[in-house]
Amino acid sequence: MSAHNMTWISYPSKSLASTSLEEIEAFIASQNVISRFMHCYIAFFVPTGLIAGVCILVIFIKNYAQNKAMEHLDSLLLHFTISNTTMILLSFTVINRPDYIRVTHLACSVLSFLFNFSYFSSQHSLVLMLLTLLLKRFPPRTALSKVTQRPIVCIGCVLLCAFCLSLMEAVLVGTDNYHVETDCQLDPLFAWPEYEIVKFTFGFGIPSFLQIVSFIALLAKEAPAEAPALQQHICTYLAVFIISITAFICRLFYNIMILFRTTLKLQMSIGTPKDELVMNIAEIVLFSESCASLVLILCLHKPCRDRILQVIRSCRRAHSTNSHLEIPVTPTSPEMMSQ
């Protein structure tokens, strides 16, 4: 059977052939776990992530309107925020879990394209942010490093790269039976094995390697005398470093499961309900990381944190002013009424 003929594949939960009591109980238990993870994500992570994303966008736009300029790192964080917010909106496709949304192959491919575009943009933005912090500590001396100081050029390259990779992934999803309805995930099960390999390589492997190299260079290379101390540099840009570590851990888990699913495809196996359970958990962990990253930016990135504290102080002053303006009501005594 050709590796590109994916008509045989299906979800284990949709192809349960065994009538063994133990396997049926295990299947029900896995479905319950998926459902609980989904409800927890939708109830807590999604609202928090969307509120944080909107607040970050408002803060950056207001700062730009006031200063008529935006720092390079802030431009990348703005792009990262938009990418992650888009991923959160697309994550509403998990709302049916443990079931899957039913759409045509074509609609599923479109959702997959949008998801991959946001995913690649987010991942490559992280690489550029770490490179920016590296260049802040080690001043640029080459033409290439000076180009990286232009936010529009950097973001344009990220968008172009993300678009090309997403288009490649859309082709690897397959073009057969585009009008037929199917169970859809944002990384479609019926995609060719090359789909997961490309996604792992360009969406995690290479970016993670570059991130690790940036971390090693930042920690190991001796900085110029005029550069700030390493501890001060890390504290100043703590949000970016924590986001990079969090994203690496969560996306490592997800990409391991992506590669595991590829091995099942190459073995012509649909796997077990337990495999499906872990894949669903990895997907929800990936989306939860997008929400957590936005909250970390809002709480740890200095311009966002300062703006939030400013709003809190303004609210306290307004409340204090209103309290002082309140006129106390003097109760009327019976003697006064008799007069």
Give the amino acid at 8: W
- Helix or strand run (H / E) with residue 120: helix 105-137
Give the amino acid at 76: L
* pLDDT for residue 332: 55
The series of mean pLDDT values per 10 residues for the chain, 339 residues long, is 70 74 81 92 94 94 84 90 95 90 92 95 93 79 61 89 94 81 90 92 94 88 75 86 93 94 90 89 95 94 89 81 58 50
Q: What's the start-to-end Cα distance of the chain, in Å?
A: 105
- The pair of structure tokens assigned to 161 is 């790269």
* pLDDT for residue 19: 62
Cα 225 from Cα 237, distance rounded (Å): 20
Q: What angle do CA 221, 224, 228 make, to 5 degrees?
A: 95
Cα 314 from Cα 111, distance rounded (Å): 42
- Cβ atoms < 10 Å from Cβ of 82: 17
Q: What is the dihedral of CA 180, 181, 182, 187, to 10 degrees?
A: 80
* pLDDT for residue 70: 81
* pLDDT for residue 24: 80
* pLDDT for residue 72: 85
Give the three-state DSSP class for 184: strand
Burial 276-311 (b: 16+ CB within 10 A, else e): bbbbbbbbbbbbbbbbbbbbbbbebbebbeebeeee
Q: What is the dihedral of CA 286, 290, 292, 297, to 10 degrees?
A: 150
- Helix or strand run (H / E) with residue 24: helix 21-40
- The pair of structure tokens assigned to 108 is 């599923």
* pLDDT for residue 339: 45
CB of 47 closer than 8 Å to CB of 86: no
- The pair of structure tokens assigned to 53 is 């994303």
**pTM for the predicted model, two decimal places:** 0.88
* pLDDT for residue 119: 96
- The pair of structure tokens assigned to 303 is 């311009």
Closest to 189 measured CA to CA, from 135, 107, 262 = 262
* pLDDT for residue 38: 93
**What are 263-321's pLDDT values in tens digits?**
999 898 888 888 889 999 999 999 999 999 999 999 999 889 888 988 888 888 876 77
